[in-house]
Amino acid sequence: MASHRRPKPPNAAYTAALTASAAAAVAVSAQTASADPLPDPTKKGVQAQIDRLYEDATQATEKYNGAKEKADKLEKQVKDLQETAARKQGDLNDLRDRLGVIATAQYRSGGLDPSMQLLLSSDPDKYLDTASALDRLGDRQTTELKEFQSQQRDLAQQRKQAAEKLEDLGDTRTELGAKKQEIQSKLAKAQKLLNSLSAKEKAEIAKKEERADRSSERAKLGNEASATQRAASAFEAAKSRVGLPYVWGATGPGSFDCSGLTSWAFKQVDVSIPRTSQAQANIGTRINSLSALKPGDLIIMRTDLSHVGFYAGNGQILHAPKPGAKVRYESIARSGMPFMWGVRM
């Protein structure tokens, strides 16, 4: 089988600096989180605790991503509703002016018709509900008044919808803040544990990351074709990001979390997919067998669907794996994360 090695990162100097040591790379400010393998239940000590904290941060990250996506949509909806309400208010003001002209003409020609007095009152609905009053209006007046009433109702509905969306947005922003705080707390605890390690233990962690990076560079992917052109194109885009750092909540182009990488890659080929791994798990065509996957298929990992990457061929996944790591190829069997299913786009 042909061997495919990862392309050089866009900024070799930048990524070289990031690999100085895994301990330094994992010195995540509250900005770094990831999908880390499930810890081995037989493992003891600090490393197992760090693994668990990273896993918890990953789950919180995907929930944060979902809330962020919802907030973005709500903000757009609120903006659209407010702009529509402003236009309707302008139309309503124009119509009110036209009705005023009719009233002025009536007054000059012999006094203001009682019906027009009602028309220009604060409750035109009451006027329209009075059938006898309609007989006093000419056709033009009736049409104008009905339009006025309709636009008033539309405006009230738009404002009500905008208020409801604003309330939803407020709740979502509160959720965002809570998830952000949870992620930062998990990562801070992990960092504290890392800081408690001896120099020898930190060096071992750094060596482990270096071995993973070297293994990624030597990954043999085979030459199997993708199932669809869009999957092949998105996979090629993702390959260009190998070597860039994982940052929680990031969607590229210089850093990614797991679902940020997959959504960014499809976006490069004008294909829109959901932001979170859980949502991505329910799009496209489901592939239940690992052996049936083709390069470029999405691969959903963990029972809570909190991790996603690209199937790279020959049993490899291309993904953004964890804090302190970089986008890389990795053996699915050795990832420590259970395979759930694949998604073909």
Closest by CA to 62, choosing from 226, 280, 269, is: 280
Q: Which residues, in sequence order, are CB contacts of 50 under 8 Å at separation 6+?
A: 190, 193, 194
Residue 98 main-chain phi, psi, to 5 deg: -65, -40
Q: Tell me the torsion sign for CA atoms 276, 27, 329, 233.
A: positive
Residue labelled with tokens 């012999």? 110
Positions annotated as catalytic residues are 258, 307, 319
CA distance 134 to 121: 15
Residue 234 tokens read as 């998105």
The packing angle between helices 229-239 and 258-267, to 10°, is 120
First to last CA, the chain: 25
Q: Is 198 helix (H, G, I), strand (E, B) or coil?
A: coil
Q: Tell me which residue of 149, 98, 101 sits closest to 128, measured CA to CA.
A: 149
